[in-house]
C-alpha cells in the first residue's frame, strides 16, 4: 500500500481564498483523522471519522473549516475563507483495527498570505 496520500503537499494562497485539502486513507482502514500542527499549538486533532461518519469535530476551529468524507477512500478539509492564522501543516491519518496505531500522511503545508 502507498500509505496515506495527501494533496497538495504545499499550498500558498491569499487571505480570503478557499482552500481544499485532500486525503486518501489506507485501503481497508475505517477511521480517518485530520490534524493541524503549528509551532505555537503543536499537533491538534481537528476532526475524525469512523466509517465515513464524523464522530468528533470539537477541534474544528470555527465555521470556516469543514470536512467531508463522501466515501471510504477520500476526504477533504476545506477552509473558506482562509486567514493568515490558518497557516500550518495539516496532516491526515487513518487507522485500522488497532486503536492506538494511526498512520499519518506526509502533510500539506499551507501558507496564507
Judged by the rule CB under 8 A, the positions of this chain that interact with another protein are 4, 31, 33, 42-43, 45, 48, 50, 55-56, 91, 93, 95, 99-107
| Closer Cβ to another protein, 7 or 81, answer by number | 7
| Closer Cβ to another protein, 30 or 81, answer by number | 30
CA distance 14 to 23: 22
Q: How far is the CB of 81 from another protein (least distance, A)?
A: 27
Closest CA to 32 of 85, 112, 90: 90
Centroid of chain to Cα 80: 14
Q: How far is the CB of 23 from another protein (least distance, A)?
A: 11
Q: How far is the CB of 75 from another protein (least distance, A)?
A: 15
| Closer Cβ to another protein, 42 or 70, answer by number | 42
Q: Phi then psi for 31, rounded to 5 degrees?
A: -125, 140
Residue 105, CA distances (Å) to 2, 23, 88, 91 in order:
10, 8, 15, 6
Residue 84, SS3 per DSSP = helix
Q: How far is the CB of 14 from another protein (least distance, A)?
A: 24
Amino acid at each position: 500500500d502507498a500509505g496515506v496520500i495527501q494533496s497538495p503537499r504545499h499550498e500558498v494562497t491569499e487571505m480570503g481564498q478557499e482552500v481544499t485539502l485532500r486525503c486518501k486513507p489506507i485501503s481497508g482502514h475505517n477511521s480517518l483523522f485530520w490534524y493541524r500542527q503549528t509551532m505555537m499549538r503543536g499537533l491538534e486533532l481537528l476532526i475524525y471519522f469512523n466509517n465515513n461518519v464524523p464522530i468528533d469535530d470539537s477541534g474544528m476551529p470555527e465555521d470556516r473549516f469543514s470536512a467531508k468524507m463522501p466515501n471510504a477512500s477520500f476526504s477533504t478539509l476545506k477552509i473558506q475563507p482562509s486567514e493568515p492564522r490558518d497557516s500550518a501543516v495539516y496532516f491526515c491519518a487513518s487507522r485500522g483495527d488497532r486503536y492506538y496505531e494511526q498512520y499519518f500522511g506526509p502533510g500539506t503545508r499551507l501558507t496564507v498570505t
